[in-house]
Amino acid sequence: MPICIPDTLPAVDVLRNENIFIMPASRAKSQEIRPLKVLFLNLMPKKIETENQFLRLLSNSALQVDIQLLRIDQRESKNTPTEHLDSFYRDFENIKDQNFDGLIITGAPLGKVQFDDVVYWQQLTQIIEWAKEHVTSTLFVCWAVQAALNILYGLPKLTREHKLSGVYQHNITDPKAILTRGFDDSFLAPHSRYANFPSEIIRQKTDLVILAESNITGAYLMATKDKRMAFVTGHPEYDSFTLANEYFRDLHAGLNPDIPQNYFPDNDPKQVAHATWRSHAYLLFSNWLNYYVYQLTPYDLNTRDLTVD
């Protein structure tokens, strides 16, 4: 089944060119089916690019998914046209009385910014707390993981001295875990962050179950035992060229960035990098939609009690 998005969203043409089945909202209204309602809080600056990346992963499922785009506030974006935000995004005030099957909160380029200095910290805290009662399962990605660990568990901001940038090997910790069902015992995933997620701190200070980790990246994939929240510290949604774009952007800005590890062939930025993490990324999002959302969510979302046994 397809993802359902507005007919004129730029992602429609992008994904159709990749032979991904997109159902415009106009057709979805005629379907006698209860689609999953997934809220997508986009904190990344280049919102259209991020929409394409995540919608691509959400499309690889037998489930019909109705996507609602959400913005954190009304501030003007430097990288996304105001017309796009006004046309396709909703404000929290407009949806706070609704329930959703799933919520995805993206990363943000705030690795060196203290939580109290994040201009929308109060709004983000409100949304995360709201999700406990209004969302069946929430998926946090990269910086959103760091923010959620502070809001939900009181963990302080842990920052790496040098940016973690590249593609790294990770190991499954529980071969029977359903979120990693179908994963190889070890798999690749990209990272681009200053945030630090030491596995020992996660185990000592939270009740989260670590499902995948590595000695270099720390905890990569974590979840609550009731499956109501999942955490991905990397960027499985990245396109093959995203890390390259970030590297050359910082290079041209005079920041002297390190070359992303295990990314360019022969570690040579002049060569074209290829995605080596795509299959795991699709499987991760498919498993989350199936086992953490669809299998747990009530059929009637008007049911206020979203408690999972």
Task: Give catalytic residues, as residue numbers.
Answer: 142, 235, 237
| DSSP reduced 3-state for 13 | helix
| CA 235 vs CA 26, 39, 111, 136, 240: distances in Å | 32, 19, 14, 23, 11
Token pair of 14, please? 């992008």
What is the C-alpha to C-alpha distance for residues 86 and 80, in angstroms, rounded to an integer? 11
* Cβ-proximal residues to 301 (8 Å cutoff; 6+ apart), any chain: 37, 98, 99, 100, 101
Look up tokens 């955490």; give the residue: 231
Beta bridge partners of 186: 171
Q: Where are the beta strands (DSSP E) in 106-249?
A: 135-141, 159-172, 186-195, 209-214, 218-223, 229-232
| DSSP reduced 3-state for 166 | strand
